[in-house]
Structure 1
Amino acid sequence: MSGAPSGNGPDLTLRDFAAGQNVFGRYTLIRTLGRGGMGVVWLARDDELERNVALKFLPELIIHDRAVLGDLKHEARRSLELTHKNIVRIYDFVHDQTSGCISMEYVDGDTLSNLRADKPRKVFEPDELTEWTSQLCDALDYAHNHAHIVHRDLKPANLMVNQHGDLKVSDFGIARSLSDSVSKITTQRRSGTLVYMSPQQLDGKRSDHLDDIYSLGASVYELLTSKPPFYSGNVDHQIREQVPPSLTQRRKELGIDGTPIDAAWEEIVRACLAKDPTRRPQSVAEVARRLEVPSPKTRRRKQATPKLKHRAILAAVALVVGTAAVVAWYFGIQIPREQGSSKPTAQRDVQAQSQERYMPGVGGIKINTAPSGATVTLGGLGTKKTPATFNANTGKYSLFVELDGYEPIAREVEAKEGQLIDLGTITLQPGKSKIDLSSAPPGAKIFQGDTLLGVTPFRRDDFPSGRTTFLLVSEGYLPREFTARLDSKELFKATIPLAKPLPVYKGTIGGSVPITIKLGADLKSGTMAQSSTRGETVVKFAGVWTGATLRAVTHELLSKPESILWETESFTLRFSDDGKNVAYECNYGAEVFTASLGAP
């Protein structure tokens, strides 16, 4: 928060760039992806290699320090060793007299931190994290034992999920070294994020893989409970001296309902958070083994053989822990599966276990689809992703299968006592729908993801069926995002009203701190004022739109009381469809501050 005590932060002012601009004689800028304490990130086209990349531009204080630039060049060469599929690749470090950037793999997705925050209860369930945890262990095992690199700042904000549902660990190598450089230049004592740091990191000791294991535990703790192990008060002391509540207890404290936390998750997270590093799991392979997910070596053996790309191990984990679904993927993110001519041993074992689980008088329904990853709802027995197996009492059940872009299937199936009824593989047929979209006023650009479809009014007779999210953008109006379920049997027709923002939004943070937001004409920048008994602090902010959410960062102080220290902060603004209300959220350190804003 702007009134929070802090040291004087570095001057992170960045040179202005524009879409379409060519930089370093090689990259054409496309659009901003975000801003943070380490600089601004652009999506760009590498004109030499003809691929999209992410460019993380460096703070100006880095560019003018030759010693730091030399360190970064050295780290760039070293980071080329990180070539794991679950680690964001670093491609290059480039600079000139006025600016510099890190060229890295572009990941079209979002962080686990953001995905968790968008969940209704702000938490994941253990079964949702199973595959991602397995991939994370594999990536860390590779980094620790093959590249001999420690991450040192592992946290949910550095764990990304791409559009295929695969986890990518970011901020390794040169990007991590960049944070170290800023810490040194600005005389900050630590590199890393306090609430995920081990006691040894806190004391400034040289980092090793056991610090990453502590941070892994702290990250999983937050993803399952909405908060890191320690997040308020004297966090330094708590990290060194106190034992955090169990996952189940923390959920109860925060009033979070959900699936009971399995003992294996409780035990491994508690072990990872041990104060004494010798009492933690001594490798990420041990973490994977104790969670009964594929060990790193097992995963790499499977990846080496194309026919072993099935992810049937997810089903095995579901059977072991008794979960009702394998993974509830976010925003339609699904795991791709390939059909092989022979089934791996692990998959045969899963099938044997599934049949052994049936109790006398209980039957089962088994189903797969081509392509797999479809959502299957079986009567009142729940929803799963294919391939799926349901325990079912004798009787008839309604079966509903759907996958975006394909025709839904509805039929009745019958379960029989003591039998596993295998419905085989159902081939899904691509569906085409008719859509007629208008906006008020007309002339809005309509996007599906990053693809510009056209301008309203927009009509098509061959649009892929299924659940689709559209974004309408019109100058002077707030972006409007909406989701439609397109059915090939019906015309989808809608007129979407667009809203202009109010000149001023006001509210209170936590019911006590008055806040005022004024948007600029570009709807991406403006001013924010926060009041206290000592006076008012006013700052400028700039941001980027992610769908209908404005993610912003303060960058210039306009005025403040002399007794208040100010530092850069990031926040999000989520506007109501009519533009009359705004939900404000700011993550400051380990605290989350929120406010509901409206007309003065």
Structure 2
Amino acid sequence: MKLLNKYFKFNQSSAPTKSQKSSIQVGQLLIDRYKLMELVGSGAMGSVYRAQDQLLGDVTVAVKFLTHTLNNDAIASRFAREARIGALLGHQSLNIVRVLDYGLHEEHIPFYVMEFMQGQTLDDLIEAGRLPLNRFIHIMTQVCAGMKCAHQGINIEGELHQVIHRDIKPSNIFLIKDASLGELTKLLDFGIADFLSSQSEDLRSHAFVGTVAYGSPEQFSGAVVDARSDIYSLGITMFETLTGYFPIMATANTIESWAQAHQQFPPQRLRDVAPTLKIPGALEDLVMSCLAKSPTQRPQSVTDIIKTLKGISHPGPGVAPSLINNSSIDLASIPPNSRLSVPT
């Protein structure tokens, strides 16, 4: 998102309305349990508050209010179902944020309660401008582990529910320190984008659900998406993390322009954008394969991506170990004239 804002003034049409903002205030007590303490973040999908769980002795939690209001019982039921799926996913994978509770504020504004995490997003890390290659592989392997758990699906009352994220991007990847793993990577908002994507037209107002710079070609065409759509978004995320740039740029910040870019413009290769970047050829091939226009030409599962990443992190005779262990992705060293050109 921070990179996107460098190119375009982001459309704020999806931001909470004034009436919704005024109904959410610091100090409020939600469902007689969660006291809102401070606003800690906001984005296109909603706003996040630090809160205290008074039932558990003021344990700190995070409460996320979704931008959209729920205007009928069927939609509220769907939200509850997706929140439950998100909660189960968080309990099955360390790499997905844990959803602890959910509810409706003033009967129509949906929120869910998450574990409170201290750290930074991958978006913040990219902006800092330097990332060791072995850290990149460690982060992306964990991202894929979370995606794999969701894509495999969870069993609820005998029915398997596969979850497609639909909004994989650096700001939805959170990094925290962990005593055993060193650094733990968690995916945010699993199930929520999928929930919003399937709502009635009066709720969606024909809005693109997700983030246009990371959307797959099939998301724009209205086709049914599967796990390979998330893999495309992961490819853009990996490209941005490695280079500090997007592989594909639209000519304007509109859904139509981004649809054209993702569906028709060929992605630039990493070396075209960052000629000083030194990475194994297998990693560049992996990133570019994720960016294929056709889902059939991408890796068919994140399991395939994990295998490739692990092969790179434990290089055979064809890759010098120093290229992995000692290399840094230094975004500041990329020449200014290598900035993405906008296709015409």
Instruction: Give the TM-score range, shorter chain.
Output: 0.7 to 0.9
Instruction: Give the corresponding residue for 1:56.
Output: 64
Residue number among 284, 308, 313 corresponding to 1:290 in the alignment = 308
CA distance in 1, matches of 2:24, 2:104: 15
Residue number among 243, 248, 251 corresponding to 2:274 in the alignment = 251
| Per-residue CA distance 1:513-551 (angstroms, 9 max, x = gap) | xxxxxxxxxxxxxxxxxxxxxxxxxxxxxxxxxxxxxxx
Instruction: Give the corresponding residue for 1:559.
Output: none
Instruction: Give the corresponding residue for 1:12.
Output: 17
Q: Does 1:94 align with 2:108?
A: no
CA shift for structure 1 position 16: 5.2
SS in structure 1 of the partner of residue 114 of structure 2: strand
Of Structure 1 and Structure 2, which has the larger fraction of its residues in strand? 1
Residue number among 128, 131, 144 corresponding to 1:137 in the alignment = 144
CA shift for structure 1 position 170: 0.6
SS in structure 1 of the partner of residue 250 of structure 2: coil
CA distance in 2, matches of 1:224, 1:32: 31
CA shift for structure 1 position 97: 2.8
SS in structure 2 of the partner of residue 81 of structure 1: helix
Instruction: Give the corresponding residue for 1:356.
Output: none
Taking structure 1 as reference, are residues 96 and 267 closer, same or farther at Cα in structure 2, changes over 3 Å only? closer
Instruction: Give the corresponding residue for 2:236.
Output: 218
Q: Is the 8 A contact 1:53 1:105 kept in 2?
A: yes
CA distance in 2, matches of 1:293, 1:251: 23
Instruction: Give the corresponding residue for 1:78.
Output: 85
CA shift for structure 1 position 175: 5.8
SS in structure 2 of the partner of residue 57 of structure 1: strand
Q: Is the 8 A contact 1:62 1:68 kept in 2?
A: no
CA distance in 2, matches of 1:276, 1:81: 31
CA shift for structure 1 position 183: 7.7
CA distance in 1, matches of 2:32, 2:231: 41
CA distance in 2, matches of 1:20, 1:11: 19
Of Structure 1 and Structure 2, which has the larger fraction of its residues in helix? 2
Residue number among 143, 146, 159 corresponding to 2:173 in the alignment = 159
Q: How does 1:430-445 map to 2 (within 5 A)?
A: none
Q: Does 1:173 align with 2:180?
A: no
CA distance in 2, matches of 1:94, 1:204: 30
SS in structure 2 of the partner of residue 93 of structure 1: strand
CA distance in 2, matches of 1:11, 1:52: 24
Residue number among 204, 212, 220 corresponding to 1:202 in the alignment = 220
Instruction: Give the corresponding residue for 1:461.
Output: none
CA distance in 2, matches of 1:205, 1:218: 20
Instruction: Give the corresponding residue for 2:51.
Output: 44
SS in structure 2 of the partner of residue 213 of structure 1: helix
Q: Does 1:107 align with 2:117?
A: yes
Paired residues in the alignment total 300
Taking structure 1 as reference, are residues 24 and 143 closer, same or farther at Cα in structure 2, changes over 3 Å only? same
Residue number among 117, 121, 135 corresponding to 2:127 in the alignment = 117
Q: How does 1:300-449 map to 2 (within 5 A)?
A: 316=314, 321-323=321-323, 325=325
Segments of 5+ residues of structure 1 without an aligned counterpart are: 295-313, 330-590, 592-600
Instruction: Give the corresponding residue for 1:444.
Output: none
Taking structure 1 as reference, are residues 80 and 11 closer, same or farther at Cα in structure 2, changes over 3 Å only? closer
Bigger radius of gyration among the two: 1
SS in structure 2 of the partner of residue 134 of structure 1: helix
Kindly provide the amino acid, as one letter, of the partner of residue 152 in structure 1: R
Q: Which has the higher contact order (CA 8 A, sep 6+)?
A: 2
CA distance in 2, matches of 1:137, 1:280: 15
CA distance in 1, matches of 2:41, 2:15: 19
CA distance in 2, matches of 1:175, 1:277: 20
TM-score, normalised with respect to structure 1: 0.46
Taking structure 1 as reference, are residues 96 and 113 closer, same or farther at Cα in structure 2, changes over 3 Å only? closer
CA shift for structure 1 position 236: 2.2
Q: Is the 8 A contact 1:12 1:39 kept in 2?
A: no
